[in-house]
Amino acid sequence: MFALLRNRRRRRVLTRAAIPDSLWNATLAATPVLARLDSESQQRLRDLALLFLHEKRFEAAGGLHLEESMRIRIAALACLPILELGIDSYDGFQSVIVYPDEFLVRDREYVDDDGVVHSSDDVLSGEAWEQGPVILAWKEVEASGHGDGFNVVAHEFAHKLDLLDGTFDGMPPLHAGMRAKEWIAAFQAAYDDLRARLERGEETWLDPYASEEPAEFFAVCTEMFFDVPEEFRTEYPMLYAQLSAFYKQDPARVA
């Protein structure tokens, strides 16, 4: 759409509105991965979160009472991955739906490797579809961003970034200066290694869920990148370097 108009509107939002201090401070206090950002980054995150709150529609589902403090916490967590990428990265969708707890998706259809269509009932803590809403369980949002390797918000929004090029394949559109060959080499090796370890019945540092498909691998790695960056850099230095180039952040340095 009209970028000039949109940018003017965004500037107006930023000069006329603000996330109240008390609610912002409560968000930081509840979310250690945001609290450890330097103050300049926190201010940028606060601006992004404000734009996010203005531009996205929040919908409560399953009887949830969605308070302002909850919307702010979701917006702040959602904007961490795009801290250096900008709010434009989230232009492709309009709404965020929040359930109180893990939610049931009935009759989910999927096609297996042999082309057979199955349907099942799935219990999910979050979900993101191309051009569709991001769906989150509040209980899982509350557990996100504590620096212990869990962040459903980073996970679902990583899917949105992955989908920016129209494919759900674990490879978002790379920036100028990044090489697809290096990205693929780093990710493929780690992904194959994870699957091989799981096949041998070994314990793995990454959640086995990451082995489901490359898109999930990227989303789980994004969670770890922001939540336990130092450990992630030690376990997967090549992936860390690629994610650091993509997100334009070096969270292990500030952690």
Please, are residues 163 and 134 in contact by the beta-carbon 8 Å criterion?
A: no
In whole angstroms, what is the distance from residue 252 CA to residue 244 CA?
A: 10
Q: Is 72 exposed, middle or buried (0-12, 13-18, 19+ CB in 10 A)?
A: buried
Neighbours of 143 (CB within 10 A): 14
| Window contacting Zn ion (CB under 5 A); options: 54-62, 82-90, 172-180, 216-224 | 216-224
Least separation in angstroms between CB 95 and Zn ion: 18
Least separation in angstroms between CB 145 and Zn ion: 17
The amino acid present at 174, given as its one-letter code, is L
Give whichever of 53 and 239 is closer to Zn ion, judged by the CB atom. 239
Least separation in angstroms between CB 169 and Zn ion: 13
Give whichever of 219 and 255 is closer to Zn ion, judged by the CB atom. 219
Least separation in angstroms between CB 134 and Zn ion: 11
* Residue number with the smallest Cβ distance to Zn ion: 219
Least separation in angstroms between CB 159 and Zn ion: 6
Give whichever of 134 and 228 is closer to Zn ion, judged by the CB atom. 134
Query: What end-to-end distance do the CA atoms of the chain give, in Å?
Result: 38
Give whichever of 213 and 235 is closer to Zn ion, judged by the CB atom. 213
Query: Residues 33, 219, 224, 228: which binds Zn ion (CB under 5 A)?
Result: 219
Please, are residues 48 and 88 in contact by the beta-carbon 8 Å criterion?
A: no
The residues that bridge with 126 in the sheet, in sequence order, are 136
Site string for Zn ion, 61-100 (x = CB under 5 A): ----------------------------------------
Least separation in angstroms between CB 215 and Zn ion: 7
Least separation in angstroms between CB 181 and Zn ion: 25
| Window contacting Zn ion (CB under 5 A); options: 2-10, 11-19, 219-227, 237-245 | 219-227
Give whichever of 155 and 233 is closer to Zn ion, judged by the CB atom. 155
In whole angstroms, what is the distance from residue 233 CA to residue 225 CA?
A: 8
Helix orientation angle between 152-162 and 214-227, rounded to the nearest 10 degrees: 130
Give whichever of 37 and 216 is closer to Zn ion, judged by the CB atom. 216
Q: Is 161 a residue that touches Zn ion (CB under 5 A)?
A: no
Tokens representing 200 are: 């041998």
Sign of the C-alpha dihedral, residues 204, 210, 211, 217? negative
R_g of the chain, CA atoms, integer Å: 18
In whole angstroms, what is the distance from residue 180 CA to residue 173 CA?
A: 9
Give whichever of 140 and 147 is closer to Zn ion, judged by the CB atom. 140
Number of residues that bind Zn ion (CB under 5 A): 2
Backbone angles phi, psi at 153, to 5 degrees: -70, -50
Chain residues that interact with Zn ion, rule: CB under 5 A = 216, 219
